Amino acid sequence: MVFLHKKFLEWLECLSLLKRLPLAFDGLKALENLAEDRHPVSIFARDAKRFFLRHYHILENWPLQAYSSAIIFSPQSCVVRTNYVDKMPGWLVKTASKEKTWTALIQEIGHTSRVTELAISPDCKRIVSRCIDRNIKLWNTVTGDHQTLGYPENFRAMALSPDGKQIVSISDKNIKLWDAVTGRHQRTIVCPSDFASAVAFSPDSRQIASSFNKNIRLWDAVTGEHQKTLTGHSGSVCSMSFSPNGEQIVSRSGDESFKIWDVATGDHQQTLGYCDAGLAAAFSPNGKQLVSRSYKSITLWDIATGHDQKIMGGYSDGLSRVTFTPDGKQIVSSSYEDGIIIWDAATGNHQKTLGHAECVTAMALSFDGKLIVSGSDNETIKIWDATLSDDYKKKLIYHSASVVAVAFSPNGKQIVSSSEDNTIKLWDAATGDYQKTLEGLTKNIKAKPFERDPLWVNDKKLWNSMIDEDTKRH
């Protein structure tokens, strides 16, 4: 404890000057794990991690500011601040902080242009983002550092494998595979046609599905070998996704139909009729149903028969998102004018409407289905109790522009949001506290045209375990 109380800031200063600052986080985390939960060492280490993460950019670039700026802008209850406030320069006579305790915000990173897709690696140490300037960036969630991957001129889409080992990007006439840990380019697959539009990994990360014009091609994710081509759409394929068990693919094309395919054989199984300009579809958790959205209605489909079971309409403006609850018993939708509506998946009956003062631009469910988070044009994020109240539980105000994407962590304890203010932010779902901002954007964040909400999580593991662990103890 003597070292922590007397030499902690000097240690950070030395690591910064030696260009080894990231080692501090590993050391603090190990120290916290070794000590008992309420032991003074554990308490100091936990607080020191928050101090380190919040001020990483300052510590890395201006290490001497550890004794002034980092102290001043830490909350009043910060243990590091309390122990080192006497080391601040004498000319700093006012040391008050607006924050009394650490908020949920841990760190902030960003792009230089509008973000269109986000994914978090299974080990939760990396975020992969894609923006409209065609950059793919690989972020370190501890330090906020990033590297930019090379990109083709007509870059269209990207995906992170569910196991977190590969990134795939697609452009006209080629597919590129990248190592998601190192950022190293692995291989390029040359395709015989152009106009690429979508790419996806199978749930087991072994296959890649890509769309070129009217066809879907399946590839071996390890060897890059072409496996089969799925043909049958009369219009260009604009989106696709695998079923939860990876045995089927649903695709949507410009012919305004959804088609179901058998992944093993490549056979076309069902066409889900005329979909009234259907925009997107989601499988039910058991893989037996599909819910699709158009601009003003929702359709529930039986995958086995291809027949529509229910049509839920009455929207006054375009739908932005539709999804099943984790138990498959409800459907949750959001629109630009009518707020969030919860439907009974069995009967199609309207159950509840959750209103927003402005256009709802983003929506996501927690993995237990108990909470809903929504983003709006009025720069706010709201957290809702999906089971009880018609009123929101928390209102989060930290973005300075429209919120365009939101998602929950697998354990429901955190929220990630992106906005047209060019930032990605992390929040505590229980308290609504702001945790971290990821910066580096030069243009605002916007979803791709087909799927308005660009923020997606491949798997329940795709969250920052470091952040989850840090947040749950505060």
Mean pLDDT, residues 144-150 taken together: 74
Q: Say whether pLDDT at 77 is over 60.
A: yes
Counting other chains too, the contacts that 235-239 makes at CB distance below 8 Å and 24 or more residues apart are 236/195, 236/197, 236/211, 237/197, 237/198, 237/211, 237/212, 237/213, 238/197, 238/198, 238/211, 238/450, 239/197, 239/198, 239/211, 239/280, 239/450, 239/451
Bridging pattern class, strands 136-140 and 392-397 = unpaired
Q: Residue 70: phi, psi to the nearest 5?
A: -60, -35
Bridging pattern class, strands 109-110 and 434-440 = parallel
Per DSSP, the residues of 88-140 read S-TT------S-SS--SB---EEBSS-EEEEEE-TTSSEEEEEETTS-EEEEE
CB-facing half-sphere around the CA of 269: CA atoms within 13 A: 18
**470 pLDDT tier (thresholds 50, 70, 90):** very low
Integer Rg of the chain from CA:
24
Q: Say whether pLDDT at 218 is over 90.
A: yes
- The answer to whether residues 224 and 177 touch, using CB atoms and an 8 Å cutoff, is yes
How large a percentage of the chain has pLDDT more than 70? Answer: 68
Query: Residue length, the chain?
Result: 474
Report the first-to-last Cα separation within the chain, whole angstroms: 21
Please report where in the chains the tokens 């697998």 appear, as a residue: 410
DSSP-based three-state secondary structure for 44? helix
Domains of the chain, residue spans: 2-87, 152-251
pLDDT at position 354 is 78
pLDDT at position 246 is 92
Average pLDDT, the chain: 75
**Of the candidate ranges 62-71, 291-300, 341-350, the one whose mean pLDDT is the lowest:** 291-300
Q: CA-to-CA distance for 461 and 91, rounded, in angstroms?
A: 48
Sign of the torsion formed by the C-alpha atoms of 233, 363, 438 and 167 = negative
DSSP-based three-state secondary structure for 215? strand
**473 pLDDT tier (thresholds 50, 70, 90):** very low
Q: Which CATH entry fits the domain spanning 152-251: 3.20.20.70, 2.120.10.30, 3.40.50.9100, 2.102.10.10?
A: 2.120.10.30
Q: Pick 209 or 125 by higher pLDDT.
A: 209
Mean pLDDT, residues 102-114 taken together: 56
pLDDT at position 138 is 81
Give the highest mean pLDDT range of 113-117, 195-199, 326-330, 393-397: 326-330
Sequence-separated (6 or more) residues with CB below 8 Å from residue 436 = 53, 105, 106, 107, 108, 425, 426, 467
Report CA-CA distances (Å) from 428 to 257, 301, 393, 415.
39, 36, 13, 6
DSSP-based three-state secondary structure for 204? coil
- The answer to whether residues 128 and 160 touch, using CB atoms and an 8 Å cutoff, is yes
Q: Say whether pLDDT at 450 is over 50.
A: no
pTM over 0.75: no
Mind listing the pLDDT tens digit for each residue in 285-322? 888 888 887 766 788 888 888 888 777 765 555 666 78
Q: Say whether pLDDT at 392 is over 60.
A: no
Q: Pick 426 or 444 by higher pLDDT.
A: 426
Q: CA-to-CA distance for 435 and 50, rounded, in angstroms?
A: 10
Q: Say whether pLDDT at 31 is over 80.
A: yes
